Chain A
Amino acid sequence: MTAVLQARGVVSGYGEVEILHGVSITLNEGEIVAVIGPNGAGKSTLLKAIFGLVPVRAGSVLLAGRDLTNLSPDRIVQAGMSFVPQTDNVFPTLTINENLEMGAFVRRDGLHDRLERVYGLFPDIATRRGERASRLSGGQRQMLALARSLMLDPRVLLLDEPSASLSPKMVDSIFEKIAEINRGGTAILLVEQNAREALSFSNRAYVLAMGENRFEGEANGMLDNKEVGRLYLGG
């Protein structure tokens, strides 16, 4: 298994507050890895630190061996990693098509082919491509956000709580879509509050608490582990 994304001993935070006190995770080719843990554990901060949105004070982030620590997000996108934020993840006054175009902004070539490929993955939004994104429902917006992040066929996809504020039916759809994307070759690192659902779709998982690694292992095993269950899944 080759590691496509590695975070080693990442220390990070906002302003004077340190949130991550040296977190390490590894994402291998073709994997889906979940990061779970209680509130305030620093899960979202970890994704943002990897993506260059929050300064990394110590430690490193490597994408296929290449050091990306503290690079600006547009450079990281060019290197082959995409990020879907938890909220406000579409451009409301832009059309669906324009939203996708923004996903491919850093490359000039092959826009048409990229669009067709992504529309193929997301047929629901393909039919409405001329409409403004503000007219989409919550679940459809999440799909659009995912679609945008795939425009450049990234090696690694970072997802921040993809199922947040979605109906149970949409949650299933989103995770199925995530699995489908993964089968297409993209490695996925996702942060989730909805631990059960995330673990059932992931290969491996890390448990974070108080800005530190607490647990790591196969996702399957984790669902049965009573210790983890009690402390971190919240039932």
Chain B
Amino acid sequence: MTGMDRLRAPFAGLRGEKLITPLAFLFITTLVILMPAERSGWSLSSVVSFLTFFATTVAIFSIFTLGLNVQWGYTGVFNFGIAGFFLVGSFTAAIFTKGAPPPPDPVTGRPYVEYIGGFGDELDFLPFLDSGEWLPFIVGTAAAALMCGLLALLLSIPTLRLREDYLAIATIGIAELLRNIALQEQGLVNGPRGLLGIPSPLSGLFEPADYKYVYLLIVVAVLIVVYIAVERGIRSPWGRVLRALREDELATVASGKNVFAFKMQAFVFGAMIMGVGGALYAYQLRAISPEGFSHFFSTFLFWVMLIVGGSGNNRGAILGAYIVWGIWIISLQLQGYTPERPGPLGFAIPEIFQNRIFFMRDFLIGTLIVIVLLLRPQGLLPEERRVSIWVERQARRLRAARPMPEGGDETPAG
């Protein structure tokens, strides 16, 4: 019996159990629409604007969870250093799209900002096609994906063969180390102040008020591409080996497949997806600092999204991102309900809780993942059954050849 097999829910089959997913979705959606609507005085344009920004972030984070799903859900690589890939992806994209750093202060000789790269202006090869609006971003995103892939490749050498809990602590360490380097080395990405003024793709071609819809379209398009790529990947012969690997590593080894190579490929593939996500995040926020890539926000949150949504399941990954980010946004909205500006029925958060809301949200997220693990470990959208019969048959064959540890009446005759 392997890891995912043991996650069969203890509450399956309860009446109303099937309603949990649609109820959760409905709950989050209602609040996410109603709260900003009420706060803004029922202004449609405010709500639409708000929801656009919300949807953009959800789409970007979905890309991350899809990448994590490739690594963990489909291959069983326990990556707890997502923050490292997030950081590398975002900053790589930034240094490829920003212009060169300005010269230092002529009086003191100290630089205003320091960072490597800054190729944004140089990549404007085709000015007649407005290449400054799209070319650096394509290059930047590709570079982000490549850097993350390279990082994953290098990391897999020492870490991929480690036992899962060791792998977890090792990846936590790597992410923190990368963050430390980014903070410490001023010349790298401007230290704790980070990079500001990151441009956005096609932003020069539209009015600022309209641009956010354009960017949402761009991000959703990328999400669709990533989703198709991952779905195709998992249904390919390559993907079926991955699934077999996670369910029964011994069987897969016995059938002659190079386990390490497959794991590494999945790790790199997932990391590249995270790189793309990081790039899109940088273009959206336009200002990033290594301080913002903490373990909680840039690693743990994605794990919560994946587990809540359903690990091993691409649609679950997206749903999880929606639900968890919905909770995040709702908590931000709650902060707006001060005693001076109460909401419906005089609902207000007293001052004593005002400055604690974010910590209470973090507390909720921590307990949420524990509750999900205890009560519904398969998440909201349960994992698909094995993707191919080939894998099922193979695993069954090899299980019969091995002695069973329990019910031990199958030992060979004395």
Residues of A within 8 A of B102 (CB): none
The interface on chain A, measured as residues whose beta carbon lies within 8 A of the other chain's beta carbons, has a size of 19
Nearest A residue to B406 by beta-carbon distance? A14
Contact A234 B413 (CB under 8 A): yes
Contact B407 A194 (CB under 8 A): no
Contact A40 B410 (CB under 8 A): yes
A86 to B410, CA, bound (A): 12
Residues of A within 8 A of B408 (CB): 44, 86, 160
Residues of B within 8 A of A43 (CB): 409
Contact B411 A193 (CB under 8 A): yes
Contact B409 A44 (CB under 8 A): yes
Contact A44 B413 (CB under 8 A): no
* A163 contacts chain B at the CB level, 8 A cutoff: yes
A198: min CB distance to chain B, Å = 9
Contact A14 B407 (CB under 8 A): yes
Contact B409 A164 (CB under 8 A): no
* A76 contacts chain B at the CB level, 8 A cutoff: no
* B3 contacts chain A at the CB level, 8 A cutoff: no
Q: Mark A30-71, 1 if CB is under 8 A from B, else 0.
A: 000000000111111100000000000000000000000000
Q: Mark A1-42, 1 if CB is under 8 A from B, else 0.
A: 000000000000010010100000000000000000001111
A160 to B414, CA, bound (A): 13
A117: min CB distance to chain B, Å = 31
Q: Mark A112-133, 1 if CB is under 8 A from B, else 0.
A: 0000000000000000000000
Contact B407 A193 (CB under 8 A): no
* A212 contacts chain B at the CB level, 8 A cutoff: no
B407: min CB distance to chain A, Å = 6
Contact B407 A39 (CB under 8 A): no
Contact A193 B410 (CB under 8 A): no
Contact A39 B414 (CB under 8 A): no
A219: min CB distance to chain B, Å = 17
A78-94 contacts to B (CB < 8 Å)? 86
B contact set with A: CB distance below 8 Å: 406-411, 413-414
A contact set with B: CB distance below 8 Å: 14, 17, 19, 39-45, 86, 160-161, 163-164, 192-194, 234
16 contacts between A and B (CB under 8 A): A14-B406, A14-B407, A39-B409, A39-B413, A40-B410, A43-B409, A44-B407, A44-B408, A86-B411, A160-B408, A161-B414, A163-B414, A164-B411, A192-B414, A193-B413, A194-B414
Besides A14-B407, A40-B409, A193-B414, 17 other A-B contacts (C-beta < 8 A): A14-B406, A19-B407, A39-B410, A41-B409, A42-B409, A43-B409, A44-B407, A44-B408, A86-B411, A160-B408, A161-B411, A161-B414, A164-B414, A192-B414, A193-B413, A194-B414, A234-B413
Closest 6 CB pairs of A and B: A194-B414, A193-B414, A44-B408, A40-B409, A44-B409, A39-B410
